[in-house]
Amino acid sequence: MKSDLPGRTFEFAKQIVRLCQDLDCSPGAPRTLANQLLRSGTSIGANVEEGQASQSEADFVSKYSIACKEARETHYWLRLISATDLLDAALLKPHVDECNELIAILTSIVVKIRAKNKV
């Protein structure tokens, strides 16, 4: 399944890396949250990329399902960072919005393939 999703998730990962650089300026909670966000936010694209090279449809669904879980985790960390005022909510809003869109896209792809194939 070819789409712009690999490129889009790569761009999102780049944005997350930059955001984490801003967040990781002090020890303690900000650094810990930056590490969590960095792991989940970059994992989305890595799993989409792996899914593009999947050996079977079941493998594809597995990788995209993991990407969706990672997107949901990323959404959580972004919300937590905003709610604790570690970064300005206005700065985080575009990232939260993109993350929501990625969740919707990934969920839709997984649901459609599972329904079609009963995977």
Say which CATH number the domain at 55 has.
1.20.1440.60
C-alpha 8/C-alpha 84 separation (Å) is 28
Can you tell me the mean pLDDT for 89-95?
Answer: 96
Beta-carbon contacts of 57 under 8 Å, excluding residues fewer than 6 positions away, are 113, 117, 119
Beta-carbon contacts of 92 under 8 Å, excluding residues fewer than 6 positions away, are 19, 78, 81, 82
Range of the domain at 17: 5-117
- Provide the whole-model pTM: 0.91
In this predicted model, what pLDDT tens digit does every residue of 36-81 receive, in sequence order? Answer: 999 999 999 999 999 999 999 999 999 999 999 999 999 999 999 9
In this predicted model, what pLDDT tens digit does every residue of 7-37 receive, in sequence order? Answer: 999 999 999 999 999 887 767 788 899 999 9
Structural domains in the chain (count): 1
Residue 26's pLDDT is 66
Q: Which amino acid is at 32?
A: T
Residue 1's pLDDT is 43
